[in-house]
Structure 1
Amino acid sequence: MNALRRAWETERGRGSVVGLAPSAVAAQVLADDLGIEAENTAKWWDTHVRTGATFRRGQLVIVDEAWVWCRNR
């Protein structure tokens, strides 16, 4: 993952990779792996809702351990 982040940033610039994970502990593990800061997804969402902060065009968003549960009725 660190190699992917470095390659992406070489082409797109520093800060062009965002790491998100489902918990603070998972975010720290992802941050250690990527070599950049990563955030808890819920914290990022809260900031987005309150401030309107969002992703920028050209950013690579890495979501660690994303689980989607869908229930059809």
Structure 2
Amino acid sequence: MEDQQMDRIELIKLVERILSAEDTEKKLHELIELLEANIPDPQVVNYMYSKEYEDLTPEQIVDKALSYKPFYL
């Protein structure tokens, strides 16, 4: 999975797995790195853990992160 971009469904499953917190801390770190490698939005982890975004579903988190457009100076 790491060699090619993940699709939306795979990303949603990944966010669900991360949010379930059933893996070891080391494995969670690896999963977060995988998520960050597949989503351009640097705030994706904040969408999962910040109180401001606590009502977002995994689908909404992924959609919000995928809609990110980088700002170039």
TM over 0.5: no
Structure with greater helix share of residues: 2
The TM-score normalised by the length of structure 1 is 0.29
Structure having the larger proportion of residues in strand: 1
